[in-house]
Amino acid sequence: MFDRKSVKSLQNHVDVLAKFPDQNPNPVFRTDEKGRLLYANIPGQRLIDTLGIEIGGKLPDALIAHSDKPVEDQLELSVGARTFAFHVVSVPELSSINIYGTDITAMKAITRFPDQNPNPVFKLDMNGVLTYANEAGQRVVEDLGICIGQQFPAKVVLNNDTPTDNRIEMLVGSSVFTFQIVHVPEFEFINIYGTDITAQKENESILIKLAKYFSHHVFASIFSGDLEVKIQTQRKKLTIFFSDIKGFGEITERLEPEELTELLTEYLTAMTDIATKYGGTVDKYIGDAIMIFFGDPKTLGTKEDALSCVSMALEMKNAMQVFRRRWLDKGISQPLDIRMGIHTDTCTVGNFGSQDRLDYTTIGNGVNLASRLESCALPNQILISEETYLLVRDTIACERLEKIVVKNIKHPVQTYEVRGQLSNASNSMSIEESDDGFRLYIDPENIDDVIGKRLLLSEALALLDRLSKDKNE
């Protein structure tokens, strides 16, 4: 005999079970005790349509038989191309059975771990404990020194509360793997899909080594397919740049080979970085000399290429101040001065060489003239031809110099010295002069304590006046 309180509690429970909201996104059914369908909500209606059942029809026997199982047990059943988990609740008070379905198709796809998969696949609980590894994964866990029931490496299971895909790279034994980590907190597990990228990493290492033998732009053009690896050339308008360090032979005589290598590497690296910044193709190093050209394999247009080249030269010239200080700090008193020559002309550019060995370079009278201009330049001077001047004069401040006669060029060559950017040449143009026993450098954009600098210049001028008087006497 139930008391009034027990009867009320039972009635409330029955009322809850009897509710079948049509807005429920999951399929819900009610049948009689023999399994004949009495009710289906809208998602359930779509499911019974797939089963070919109407109201009054009989649901699958497996569902009805499951009503004898504890309510927390669920029955998985495939319906068409989808998989559902059903909780079957018998309600003897109403002589009916309630059935609550959940679509677990996606979850089943996530948790499927085919043993025939050639790549390692793992399943972990949310604490990072290994619960499954396919055959390929077994070889990996052996190299990791773990087995089922043990903790997977910590770096793999970090941030396991975030249900997003993560990918990490890990060295396992002598192989390199990437692991795609899929956290599934709704079902309290982590899936890990591994891919062996050892060969790929080895190929990348080889490419990185090969890249050091090519200009950045040439290397990129080869591997993008824009440049074929065969003997072929073309005529193009290029701006050619040459530079070298004045008196480098004397510097090499004073330095040990190790010191020389270190300093030259530092210098060439910095100059190359500047060239790459402005889009130049570094053709070659000849000891301390550098040859760079603009206009191939990538070009912004003849005018823009020339402007990029001259802008690069200006930055290189300014960068030499840093190198002078570094060399002096290392006890090298020999002046560090560079000469630069630039010329714009139509040249032959492309792959030259034999069938077995190629060199991507440019040749022609334009190249020779750029080299001659560099040889004629004074220390720390950027000497350009009239062809280049006409392309950059709207942006770059230049001083017209005398015509010069150079070897293998029949006519005199008009030259110009690059002074700075035209937009601020009047008040920001750097001043640099150097000679034995004399050096002057002013960078208006970086100078501070102007009053102190004026005082130093006054003292220097006074010293020069005394020296002049002494010589005249």
Residues 329-341 pLDDT 10s: 777 777 788 999 9
Q: According to the 3-state scheme, what is the secondary structure of 433-473?
A: EEECCEEEEECCCCCCCHHHHHHHHHHHHHHHHHHHHHHHC
Given pLDDT bands bounded at 50, 70 and 90, which one contains residue 160?
very low
Lowest-confidence range among 62-66, 354-358, 395-399, 408-412?
A: 354-358
pLDDT at 389 over 70: yes
**E strand or H helix that includes residue 252:** helix 248-254
Residue 286's pLDDT is: 87
User: Left, alpha or beta for 149 (phi > 0: left; psi -120 to 50: alpha)?
Assistant: left
Task: Strand 130-133: give its sheet, edge to edge.
Answer: 130-133, 121-125, 189-196, 175-184, 165-172
DSSP assignment of 269-305: HHHHHHHHHTT-EEEEEETTEEEEEESSSS-S-HHHH
What is the pLDDT averaged over residues 136-147?
A: 88
By the 10 Å C-beta count (0-12 exposed, 13-18 middle, 19+ buried), 324 is classed as middle
Q: What is the largest CA-CA distance in the chain?
A: 138
User: Residue 57, SS3?
Assistant: coil
Q: How far is 467 from 471, CA to CA, in rounded Å?
A: 6
What single letter denotes the amino acid at residue 232?
Q
DSSP H stretches of helix in 89-229: 105-110, 135-144, 198-211, 216-224
107 Cβ neighbours under 8 A, 6+ residues apart? 184, 186, 187
What is the pLDDT averaged over residues 217-224?
A: 60
Work out whether strand 175-184 and strand 165-172 pair parallel, antiparallel, or are unpaired. Answer: antiparallel
Q: Which residue has the higher pLDDT, 74 or 346?
A: 346
Residue 423's pLDDT is: 64
30 Cβ neighbours under 8 A, 6+ residues apart? 20, 37, 38, 39, 96, 97, 98, 99
Bridge-partner residues for 193, per DSSP? 121, 180
Q: Which long-range contacts (CB under 8 A, 24 or more apart) does 154-161 make?
A: 154/128, 156/124, 156/128, 156/181, 156/192, 157/124, 157/127, 157/128, 157/181, 157/190, 159/183, 160/126, 160/128, 160/185, 160/190, 161/185
Given pLDDT bands bounded at 50, 70 and 90, which one contains residue 8?
low
pTM of the model: 0.53
What is the pLDDT averaged over residues 216-236?
A: 67
Q: How far is 270 from 87, CA to CA, in rounded Å?
A: 71
